[in-house]
Amino acid sequence: MPDIAENVEKGTIAAVLVSEGDKVSVDQPLVEIETDKASTDIPSEFDGVVAEIKVQEGDEVKVHQVILILEVEDEDGQDEQEKEKPAEKGKAESHGEEEQAEKETDDEKKDDKGRDNQDQEQEEQKSKEHSSDKKRNLSEVPAAPSVRRLAREMDVDLTRVKGSGPGERITAEDVKKHADKPQQADAKEKPGADEKLPDFSQWGPVSREKIKTIRRLTAENVLQSWQTIPHVTHFDEADITNLEKFRIQHQKKAEKQGVKLTVTAILLKIAGFALQKFPRFNASLDDNEIVFKHYFNVGVAVDTPRGLLVPVIRDVNTKSLIQLSVELDELANKARERKIAPEEMQGGNFTISNLGGIGGTGFTPIVLPPQVAILGVSRAVYKPVYVGDKLKKRMIIPLSVSYDHRVIDGADGARFLRWFCDVIEDPFAILQ
Ligand code: CAO
């Protein structure tokens, strides 16, 4: 299992694409791996014959673990004995690294200095760019390559370690200390970790299905969110009759540009304005500080056969309705077709979850940390509504907003959603 990306350390075999005895050529996909919210093919690095497959669908594999053994021919056309590919190369490299890691004690910094300095500069640059955002990605954590290796070996998540070195740089000692701590929080995060189930078969037939990576990650994330964020969900509804007329009128124009103008795209556009007007909904909480972001990236929950994925549309405030429709369509398709990259699902400040295409009169979405708010959209339907003294047929869309009550007060929640509804009812309200 090669290194796929900086912060990906393991994955699940989603499909084995070859059989023992198969001839394979360079770049031919061998297995499909589901990793941190994305799936990717692992291609062969050589022409050869599959000698042995060491994994099966559903297995969890770690980076550098052997996936399969490939018999390849060397440059003279002679069979090399069971060369292990692609994972064995990784393994050999990893052994080299281990030896080096051992050598790298006192003089490690000298050995690694060029690379390390470069690394440090890049990391410092990154940490300057995100100076107010301490909940970093693994790649943004200041630590030397040898410390990263040690953390990988000891199964320590560097994003949770506080560095004691200059500029909060994480040392090998910090990693060791963290590894010694009882990992209560981690144990708690595992859904159902300490629940013992009864034997259901005593009451009737049962079957089991392995939970795929994405569903497991979603389960872990929503559990963590539910346990750590004090959620409040606020409901409101908007008269979307006029906006729906506008949408249908402009549908033809959009179709000419090869795209469907959807309710979600319109809500994305409104969210761009709403997040500027209500900066706390675009923020994150960092201990005693609120991190306000001055860019406006919005995630959209997409229902896929593999589970919930949330691609992020960047800088929604700068894009036209048509651009937003195109991007939403592209990203939702990529998510459904397993082609979405992890980075296309990162960096969101706020999320829209539209279940209206399916149905429902209201729901309480769960905030995606480190975000602090999420908009839930239910099904717009025609209802009899009093307009002045007259009962009229109007299309009403139910909306909800769940928010982190540590950052957002009830009145803020009510104001935010009411403003959103006002703009749906009369886009002129944006100017107010
Ligand atoms: N009310 C009424 N109808 C709605 C609607 C709403 N709120 N939202 C969408 N629709 C309609 C659309 O108009 C469309 O109708 P037509 O086929 O007649 O044109 C149909 O439902 C399907 O919409 P769509 O899916 O093509 O387009 P969309 O932009 O509205 O939605 C997306 C895109 C990605 C949000 C959606 O496909 C999806 O995956 N939704 C599920 C999200 C989810 O799982 N959320 C739960 C996450 S946990 O919080």
Q: What is the pLDDT of residues 164-218, one digit of tens each?
A: 887 788 888 888 888 877 554 444 445 455 578 999 999 999 999 888 778 888 8
Query: Which residues face 53 on adjacent strands?
Result: 68
pLDDT at residue 194, rounded to an integer: 56
Whose alpha carbon is nearest atom 37 of ligand 1? 302
Is 369 within 8 Å of 224 (Cβ atoms)?
A: yes
Angle at 427 between CA 424 and CA 429, to 5 degrees: 100
Query: Which residues face 399 on adjacent strands?
Result: 236, 377
Place of tokens 């209802």: 383
- Chain centroid offset of residue 153 CA: 24
Contacts for 117 with CB less than 8 Å, ≥ 6 apart = none
User: What are the pLDDT digits (tens) for 72-119?
Assistant: 876 554 444 444 444 443 333 333 333 343 444 344 444 444 444 444
pLDDT at residue 104, rounded to an integer: 40
Q: Please report the atom of ligand 1 found closest to the CA of residue 358.
A: 21
If we measure between CA atoms, which residue out of 275, 296, 294, 291 comes closest to residue 375? Answer: 275
> CB 99: neighbour CB atoms within 10 A?
10
Q: How much distance in Å is there from the Cα of 302 to the middle of ligand 1?
A: 9
Ligand 1 mutation pick, 214, 215, 264, 337, max ligand atoms within 8 A of CB: 264
> CB 143: neighbour CB atoms within 10 A?
25
Q: How many helices (H) and strands (E) does the chain have?
A: 11, 19
Element (H, E) at 88: helix 87-103
Ligand 1 mutation pick, 336, 354, 400, max ligand atoms within 8 A of CB: 354
pLDDT at residue 50 tops 60: yes
Whose alpha carbon is nearest atom 46 of ligand 1? 353
Among 4-8, 59-63, 113-117, 306-310, name the one with the lowest average pLDDT: 113-117
Q: What percent of the chain has pLDDT over 90?
A: 52
Average pLDDT, the chain: 83
- Given pLDDT bands bounded at 50, 70 and 90, which one contains residue 37? low
Q: Residue 35 and residue 389: Cα distance in Å, rounded?
A: 58
pLDDT at residue 319, rounded to an integer: 97
* Protein residues with CB under 6 Å of any ligand 1 atom: 262-264, 300-303, 308, 332, 353-357, 365, 377, 379-380, 397
Whose alpha carbon is nearest atom 48 of ligand 1? 365
Which one-letter amino acid corresponds to residue 120?
Q
Query: Which residues face 237 on adjacent strands?
Result: 398
Q: Please report the atom of ligand 1 found closest to the CA of residue 378.
A: 7
pLDDT at residue 192, rounded to an integer: 52
Q: How much distance in Å is there from the Cα of 271 to the middle of ligand 1?
A: 17
- Chain centroid offset of residue 323 CA: 23
Which residues are designated catalytic?
A: 405
Q: How much distance in Å is there from the Cα of 371 to the middle of ligand 1?
A: 22
Whose alpha carbon is nearest atom 17 of ligand 1? 357
Q: How much distance in Å is there from the Cα of 332 to the middle of ligand 1?
A: 11
Q: Please report the atom of ligand 1 found closest to the CA of residue 351.
A: 49
Q: What percent of the chain has pLDDT over 70?
A: 80
